Amino acid sequence: MMIFWGLMIPFIGTALGAGCVLFVKKELNPGLQKALLGFAAGVMVAASVWSLLIPAMDMSERLGKWAFAPAAIGFTIGILFLLFLDHIIPHLHIGSDKSEGPITSLGKSAMLVLAVTIHNIPEGISSGAVFAGILMGNAEVTMMGAFALSIGIAIQNFPEGFIVSLPIKNEGGSRKKAFYYGAMSGIVEPISGGITVLLASYVTPALPYLLAFAAGAMIYVVVEELVPESAEGEHSNIGTLGFAAGFVLMMILDVALG
């Protein structure tokens, strides 16, 4: 049950964020949106370093001076995997009117949800990989550290769920529809995490690669989407301050709970 709730925490964060659309009447203030995007980026970068890349290298200490290799390889594959998904899945970034990926007849709401869903997959894999390491008795992974990662992802998912739900409402969708779409953008996280845990015995030998893969995928999202969106237009320093706050919070969580 501990692992079940650990995998569900990120989804709960998304659902709670999406739930804000049931109460908010106006559009989100641009400055606040920049701060939230920057905050999410900061959390993801800190989680990638402290919760994923450093443990991946610690697990590879037996390789000596080549201990960086699994982390470097997994990180690169994670970047390329997200680049691949970006090209094969039609999606629409928040604040943009031009879709990316293959031409499709899907509506704007569906493509907004797909954009968020794409980068929720590696987040689910990352939490699943950490809990899989616990199941297999890996000394580099602790239950508190795993929960720190899940809580950090949930904190990052809260503004994300809100930001993806609000445009759906503003496009004419009902509040319930906007909440549903926003919440469902996060359901892929416990699913991908659960599959990773179920494959724990096969995953464990490749755990350093898998953790670094998730880190690479998350960094791709930060550089490709979150940072540009938080910095565009006036007052880009608001996004920078949000990034710093998210980074520091996730760093504290990981070190204090890990």
Rounded Cα distance, 253 and 42, in Å = 13
pLDDT of residue 129: 85
**In the block, which residue shows the tokens 């980068």?**
119
pLDDT of residue 224: 87
Q: Are 229 and 94 in contact (CB under 8 A)?
A: yes
The answer, as to whether pTM is greater than 0.75, is yes
Rounded Cα distance, 232 and 199, in Å = 41
DSSP 65: G
DSSP 171: T
Rounded Cα distance, 27 and 25, in Å = 7
Going by C-alpha positions, the residue among 192, 232, 213 that lies closest to residue 93 is: 232
pLDDT of residue 39: 92
Average pLDDT of the segment spanning 114-120? 80
Average pLDDT of the segment spanning 178-202? 88
Structure tokens at 142: 């602790």
Tens-digit pLDDT profile for residues 38-79: 998 999 999 899 888 998 999 898 888 898 999 999 999 999
pLDDT of residue 198: 87
Rounded Cα distance, 140 and 227, in Å = 31
DSSP 28: P
Structure tokens at 223: 């550089």
pLDDT of residue 143: 85
Going by C-alpha positions, the residue among 106, 109, 96 that lies closest to residue 177 is: 109
More confident: 100 or 143: 143
Q: Are 5 and 170 in contact (CB under 8 A)?
A: no
Share the mean pLDDT of the chain: 85
Residue 111 has pLDDT above 80, yes or no: no
Structure tokens at 205: 């030998």
Structure tokens at 94: 């928040």
Pick from 48-62, 80-94, 105-119: least confident: 105-119
Tens-digit pLDDT profile for residues 92-108: 766 666 777 777 777 76
With H, G, I as helix, E, B as strand and everything else as coil, classify residue 176.
Answer: helix
Rounded Cα distance, 99 and 91, in Å = 6
Question: Which of 7-21, 89-103, 120-134 is modeled with the greatest confidence?
Answer: 7-21
Rg of the chain over all Cα atoms, to the nearest angstrom: 18
Rounded Cα distance, 36 and 204, in Å = 34
